[in-house]
A and B are shown apart, each in its own frame.
Chain A
Amino acid sequence: MKPDDARIRWIEEPKLGATGKMYLPLFFQGIVTTIRHLLGPKLTVYSPEQRHEIPDPLIYRGVHRLNRDEQGRVKCVACFLCATACPAHCIDIIGAESPWPDREKYPESFTIDELRCIFCGMCEEACPVNAIELTSLYDLSGKSREEMVFDKEKLLSVYDRTKDAEPMAKAAAPLPPQSGETP
């Protein structure tokens, strides 16, 4: 869709009214909110003894995982779109010709520097085959910087750990070649 498309509706921000310009009513509104929270239920959790409850694990942006296809192979096609979208430049992929007849390209190596990552979820959005997803695991730790650079195996193991609790999103995978020829 182009910026001058007729179907795009451009909306303007509403102008401030008299109460908005006066500031005081809004100030009291804020004070009321603060007091309400003071008197309301406490949300603080004694981590790590107590665990946070994540309302919807499917939309939470925690540690990444690399999904597997039906045959247990890495789903990623090494298109580099996640690495392109990544604003922190934390994804490093080496693509190669796939060893399987029905696929053309696969990641020979796939590493994510979890220390560099800002958990924005852009990689997940960019992925055309739903191969990379963010899970609800949020408390990752390691003893060295090297340990925090997750490789393909580790990212796949995150999938194995979380696949039951957080099923992978459905996406149309590319069809196999039209004839029986190798792709």
Chain B
Amino acid sequence: MAKIIIDGHEIEIPDSERLNGIEAARRVGIEIPHYCWHPGLSVVGSCRMCLVEVGTRDAKTGNISMMPKLAPACNTMMTDGTVLVTNSEKVQQARAMVEENLLLSHPIDCPICDKAGECSLQDYHFQYGQDERRADVRPFTSRRRDLGDRVALFVDRCIKCTRCVRFVREVAGTAELMVSQRGAHEEIAVMPDFPLNNNLSGNVVDLCPVGALGDKDFLYRQRVWFMRTHPGVCTGCATGCSIRVEENQDRIYRIKPRENLLVNKWWICNEGRYGYPHVHSDRRLLGARRRDGQSAVELDWATVPGELRERLGKAGRLAAVLSPHLTVEEAYLLCQLVRQYDPRALLVLGPVPKVGEDERFPGGFTISAEKCPNRLGVEAIVAHHTGRVPTWDELISELGRGEIRGVWVSGGYKTDWIAETKAKKFEDLELLVVQDLFPSPLSQRATYVLPGAAFAEREGSYVNRADRLQTAAWAIRPPGGVRVEGSLYWELLGREGLYDARTVLSEVAGEILYFQVAAREIPETGIDLKANMLAR
């Protein structure tokens, strides 16, 4: 147990933890400003913004002796008797000097800088800087260079904290970035012919404390203060990273990682970060449709539940395809729905898209080959209802036998997922309901086409490949003519009021052993279903 004193607050740090000054100060609610330090990267102590007064307290006499010079808090490990002073005149002067020095070579083009509003340089200058600029430097326009396909460098805005350089060396392991020149001429650069194009490159933009690294996807499109942030879960692969969806008036502008030490730490891959444009695609299915012979009839959503109930009741033997893109709650409701009309209905797990192999990075980050968010969750739901997990291929062969007369297919895939030859097997059915994002060979053959919601429009939980259940709230409203899967199932089952994922999850937790711990409140970092099963 280490006893330390920060600005007069005494705190105790258990021996199992090794904290530096910045982390320890956070425990007592004191923010020590810093640029170059990041919890996920090595410590260099080069920005000098976190300089504080450091001293020690003699354990026997209780006398405190301070060091004459300031020391960086990021590089000062907390041991028994450490004393930090973070708000003295001396410390404040040092911070003001660092700020002044940084601004000597900074263009101060905040009005056209995309970082403005979430920039550490702006925030710290307002808090710790001087009001007046003593140097005779007029604002100028920064030079711009491309570092890779996704990232642009604004050379003069850079404060040389080298977070990006350390990231590509330590976490991505690709080491494209370097510091060229020395001293006041330092610049971040890439080797010729080795552009920054690794699959984690987008993270350097988040790491940059100033506006030096710009995301080309987001550049100039929106000011940060106009956007609202919604915590969510990435549905790009089975890793299930915690993300923030940033949106303005129901349009997603960017996706950022959300800190979750148990899943993705501080990072997300480019696939997840730039995997949102399909949400706003023109190709999306809009408006419910019924096929009568060759012609399609546009339906009013109000009449759809009644019609579907009637047709499901008449169809005979039923089957349902549960896409691994469904949330746990939606999968459960769909099983309930189909089983209500045919207690022997065949429930199968939809096709699980797999691309290549898992991509592992030295920093511990893994991009899964399995490009769907919830295979384990849907499998558990299906296994609960049927005792095993029938596959997609099983349904196809079952269809050939001709016993099954009605099929409900849930899709939600970003890319084409079904080939013409497979879709042909669904031709002679009494009833084929297809709920999907985009038109497919299957939706052309469907009796009912019901447009489904994209990931940011849904509410519910996903189980990632490590059995961690995470919940996401909806971030944007679906476009007109789309009904979110969960709310449609809810209505078809004749439940009262509006769809509420939490209510359904509590039911699932009560009924299925695998989900039992989900009865508790789910923390932001999710809950481990497997560990809790073992602990029982």
Within B96-135, the residues touching A (CB, 8 Å) are 107, 109, 111-112, 131
- Which of A77, A97, A174, A182 has the most chain B CB atoms closer than 10 A to its own CB? A174
A128 at the interface (CB under 8 A from B): yes
A-B contact pairs, 7 of them (CB 8 A): A79-B223, A80-B226, A96-B220, A104-B144, A174-B141, A177-B142, A178-B156
Bound form: Cα–Cα A5–B144 in Å: 38
Interchain CB contact under 8 A, B220 and A175: no
- The answer to whether the Cβ of B18 comes within 8 Å of any Cβ in the partner chain is no
- Chain B's closest residue to A1 (CB) is B131
Give chain A nearest CB distance to B271 CB in angstroms: 25
A95 contacts B by Cβ under 8 Å: yes
In the complex, whether A141 has a CB less than 8 A from a CB of chain B is: no
Q: Check if B139 sits within 8 Å of A178, measured CB to CB.
A: no
Quick one: which of A80-138 are within 8 Å of B by CB?
80-81, 84, 95-97, 102-105, 128-129
CB pair B219–A177 under 8 Å, yes or no, is: no
- Residue in chain A with minimal CB distance to B117: A84
Determine whether the beta carbon of B223 is less than 8 Å from that of A175.
no
**Chain B residue with minimal CB distance to A175?**
B140
Determine whether the beta carbon of A174 is less than 8 Å from that of B140: yes
Query: With an 8 A cutoff between CB atoms, is B314 at the interface?
Result: no
Interface size class of A (residues with CB under 8 A): 20 to 34
Q: Contacts A84-B225, A97-B220, A172-B138 hold; do A183 and B143 have CB atoms under 8 A apart?
A: yes
B221 within 8 A of A: yes
How would you classify the secondary structure of chain B's contact residues: helix, strand, loop or mixed? loop
In angstroms, how far is the closest chain B Cβ from the Cβ of A75? 12
- Expressed in whole angstroms, the minimum distance between the Cβ of A98 and any Cβ of chain B is 9
Contact of B138 among A129, A175, A179, A183 (CB under 8 A): A175
Does A181 make an interface contact (CB < 8 A)?
yes
> Separation in Å of the A88 CB from the closest CB of chain B?
16
Q: Is the CB of A183 within 8 A of B141?
A: yes
Among residues 208 to 230 in chain B, which have CB atoms less than 8 Å away from a CB atom of chain A?
219-221, 223, 225-226
Q: Are A77 and B111 neighbours in the complex by a CB distance under 8 Å?
A: yes
Q: Is the CB of B220 within 8 A of A78?
A: yes
Contact B138 A95 (CB under 8 A): no
CA of A37 to CA of B219, assembled, Å: 58
What is the chain B residue whose CB lies nearest that of A95? B220
Beyond the given A95-B220, A177-B140, A177-B143, please list 17 additional residue pairs across the A-B interface where CB-CB is below 8 A.
A77-B111, A79-B112, A80-B223, A95-B221, A97-B220, A103-B141, A104-B109, A104-B141, A104-B142, A128-B111, A172-B139, A174-B139, A175-B138, A175-B140, A181-B155, A182-B143, A183-B141
